[in-house]
Amino acid sequence: MYDKDLEFIDTLSMRAMVRRLIRAGVRFVKKEKPWEHVSMGPDVEIGAGTIIWPGIVLLGNTKIGEGCEIEEGVRLEDVDVGDSSIIRTGSRISQTRIGKECVIWGARMYNAVIKNKVVIHSGNRIVWSTIGTGSDIDSSCNIKYAYIASYCKIGPKAIIEGEKFDEEILAQGKRSVHIGRSCRIGAQTHIHDRALIKTGAELAHCEIVRSVIGAGTKAKHCSYIGDVIMGCGCNVGAGTVFGNYDGEAKYVCEVEDGS
């Protein structure tokens, strides 16, 4: 918490700020002395029609759009929330930009970019990653240093983790894991290091590392795909393992389209 936020919260200025927000159309669920049930820094901005529940903490340069709902127990620090978005109970988010019409259920996020109409379910941890428009992230996923394009569906307990570059490089948008548009990533899939998953691929219960998965390719049922360049429209059967290490060196396996 910033020192100036703490100082502000402990002064009569909080009461004046809450009253000003009410006059501007912000709705506080706690009607009686609402300033005693929220903590906000002096630079926080909230749009008209937004509903504020008790027990929230809003710090730094947090900006909340119009028609949003911030539920009980939420903590936001340097977060930009787009219009008509809902942040559910228990979310802890910092240095993140959230688009319009998103729903965030009890997630932990740091340095993330969440585009419009994204749904993020409870128990997710998202760090230095981008989630594209219309994507749906199921519960208990761990997403770090990754780019997920629009209209993807990520199943529960998936792990999507790229390489950790220096923060200066991450700030430039460089990510080592890319998941293309309209992909379906099933439960407990593990995608890490340098992986490129192209448009419309479907993966589930498998591990992908240092590989390219072509558009429309399907790989499910406990497969391991490492150091593979796989074409479009392929199908990887249950339990398939790409063995690429002979004890001294690793090799790349190439799989042609339609295999």
Q: Please give the positions annotated as active site.
A: 221
Residue with the two structure tokens 């593990």: 190
Q: Provide the β-strand partners of residue 98.
A: 81, 114
In three-state secondary structure terms, 186 is coil
Angle, CA of 133, 77 and 106, to the nearest 5°? 60
Total Cβ atoms within 10 A of residue 79? 25
Asked if residue 162 lies in contact with residue 146, where contact means CB atoms within 8 angstroms, the answer is: yes
Cα-Cα-Cα-Cα torsion 101, 102, 103, 107, nearest 10 degrees, comes to -160
Residue with the two structure tokens 């009461």: 15
The DSSP symbol for 32 reads: S
